[in-house]
Every structure is written in C-alpha cells, then in structure tokens.
Amino acid sequence: LSFINGLCAATHLIVPTGLDNLAAQSAGNFIIQYKFLKPRICPQLELIGVVPSMTYNQGPANYIQREQPVVARLQGLVRGEFGSSAFLLENCNIHRAAHIRNAAGEKLAYFESDESRTIFTTLAKEVIERTRR
C-alpha cells in the first residue's frame, strides 16, 4: 500500500537498476506495472527514465563487456513499452565508487567527493531537462 501511495503522490518516477540480468528483469517488471497502474490510479505520474546504477566503469555509456547485453536488454524493453529507448538514462550512470557505497544509509554521497557531485549533478541536470519537456 505504501508503494501505491508513493506513486500516487509523485509526479515523476526514476527507476534505478543494476546492470545484471536479475536487476534488469526486476526493472522491466516494474516498468510494466507502472504502465498498468498509471492510467488507473496515477495518471499524472511521468516516467523520467531508468538509471543504470553500480556500473563498473566511469563516464557516460561506458560499460564493460558483461554490462553491454544488459543495457541492450533494457533498451529493448523500454523501446518495446514506450516506442523509444530514450527512457534509459545511459549518460547518467552511477558507477561503483567507494565514497558512494560508504555513504549509503548514513549520509549523502553528493557531499563525499567532487566525483560524487559530478555524478549526481549530471543526473540532476538530466532530470530537470526531462521534467521541462
């Protein structure tokens, strides 16, 4: 019930996902549920996109070999559900970084390093741009 209430109270949705098969499948199931629930209980809720998280390499769309098929799978899923792969925020991936991992649940990773600020500022700028469309 809290999940549904959260969706109803929100205006925009970001789906973070790891780049492994199980996480991609879960993200896919979530997107399918979003499409089902949106017209019924939260028509105002707009999907901003899927954010690849815990990636191994830094930089936009810079994935290691084992992540590439998962990205392709996510692109296909998003394209199949929305007619475009634009919902995959590839240029805003959040890579594995000790300062982000160490901050989890205790503090804001944004304040832990310049690198963290760059990662989250890039994501924030993309979110702002997409909410203005």
**Per residue in 69-115, pLDDT tens?**
888 888 888 888 777 767 888 888 888 888 888 888 899 999 988 98
30's enclosing H/E stretch is helix 21-41
C-alpha distances in angstroms, 40 versus 43, 46, 82? Answer: 7, 14, 18
The model's pLDDT over 31-68, given as tens digits with 9 standing for 90+, comes to 888 888 889 888 998 888 899 988 887 666 678 888 88
d(CA 7, CA 36): 12
Contact 116, 76 (CB under 8 A): no
Give the model's pLDDT for residue 58. Answer: 65
pLDDT above 80 for 14: yes
User: Could you identify the residue written with the tokens 């996510």?
Assistant: 74
Flag whether pLDDT at 125 surpasses 90.
Answer: yes
CB 79 within 8 A of CB 85: yes
